[in-house]
Amino acid sequence: MNSIALKSFVGLRQVSPEKTQFTGQAKVITIRHRKLKIVAGKYSPLVSGRNLRVAVIGGGPAGGSAAETLAKGGIETYLIERKLDNAKPCGGAIPLCMVGEFDLPLDIIDRRVTKMKMISPSNVAVDIGQTLKPHEYIGMVRREVLDSYLRDRAKENGATIINGLFLKMDIPKDKNSPYVLHFSSYDGKTGGVGEKRTLEVDAVIGADGANSRVAKSINAGDYEYAIAFQERIKIPDDKMVYYEDLAEMYVGDDVSPDFYGWVFPKCDHVAVGTGTVTHKGDIKKFQLATRNRAKDKILGGKIIRVEAHPIPEHPRPRRLSGRVALVGDAAGYVTKCSGEGIYFAAKSGRMCAEAIVEGSENGKKMVNEDDLRKYLKKWDQTYWPTYKVLDVLQKVFYRSNPAREAFVEMCADEYVQKMTFDSYLYKTVAPGNPLEDLKLAVNTIGSLVRANALRREMDKLNV
> Which positions touch ligand FAD (CB under 6 A)?
57-63, 80-83, 86, 88-93, 165-166, 207-209, 213, 228, 230, 273, 309, 311, 328-330, 334, 339-343, 345
In this complex, which beta carbon is closest to ligand FAD, that of residue 265 or of residue 363?
A: 265
CA angle, corner 448, sides to 446 and 452, nearest 5? 120
Minimal distance in Å, beta carbon 104 to ligand FAD? 13
Minimal distance in Å, beta carbon 441 to ligand FAD? 29
Minimal distance in Å, beta carbon 48 to ligand FAD? 30
**Closest listed residue to residue 405, CA positions, set 286, 263, 251, 260:** 251
User: CB–CB of 80/210 below 8 Å?
Assistant: no
d(CA 117, CA 129): 9
In this complex, which beta carbon is closest to ligand FAD, that of residue 182 or of residue 373?
A: 182
d(CA 70, CA 52): 10
Minimal distance in Å, beta carbon 427 to ligand FAD? 11
The count of C-alpha atoms lying within 13 angstroms of the C-alpha of 210, restricted to the half-sphere facing its C-beta, is 19
In this complex, which beta carbon is closest to ligand FAD, that of residue 219 or of residue 433?
A: 219
Minimal distance in Å, beta carbon 62 to ligand FAD? 3
* Total count of residues recorded for the chain: 463
In this complex, which beta carbon is closest to ligand FAD, that of residue 45 or of residue 61?
A: 61
In this complex, which beta carbon is closest to ligand FAD, that of residue 57 or of residue 406?
A: 57
In this complex, which beta carbon is closest to ligand FAD, that of residue 121 or of residue 265?
A: 265
Helix (H) or strand (E) holding 184: strand 179-185
Q: How far is CA 144 from CA 27, 178, 374, 454, in A?
A: 50, 33, 31, 45
Minimal distance in Å, beta carbon 59 to ligand FAD? 5
Position of minimal CB gap to ligand FAD: 341
**Closest listed residue to residue 223, CA positions, set 328, 76, 99, 129:** 328
Minimal distance in Å, beta carbon 353 to ligand FAD? 13
In this complex, which beta carbon is closest to ligand FAD, that of residue 5 or of residue 227?
A: 227
Cα-Cα-Cα-Cα torsion 432, 390, 212, 225, nearest 10 degrees, comes to 180
CB-based contacts of 177: which residues, under 8 Å, 6+ apart? Answer: 16, 17, 18
In this complex, which beta carbon is closest to ligand FAD, that of residue 29 or of residue 326?
A: 326
Minimal distance in Å, beta carbon 73 to ligand FAD? 19
Minimal distance in Å, beta carbon 259 to ligand FAD? 10
In this complex, which beta carbon is closest to ligand FAD, that of residue 31 or of residue 308?
A: 308
User: CB–CB of 128/118 below 8 Å?
Assistant: yes
**Closest listed residue to residue 47, CA positions, set 373, 372, 320, 356:** 356
Burial class for 369, CB neighbours closer than 10 Å (0-12, 13-18, 19+): middle
Burial class for 97, CB neighbours closer than 10 Å (0-12, 13-18, 19+): middle
In this complex, which beta carbon is closest to ligand FAD, that of residue 8 or of residue 276?
A: 276
Minimal distance in Å, beta carbon 269 to ligand FAD? 15
d(CA 40, CA 361): 12
| DSSP secondary structure of 97-127 | HHHHHTT--GGG--EEE-EEEEE-TT--EEE
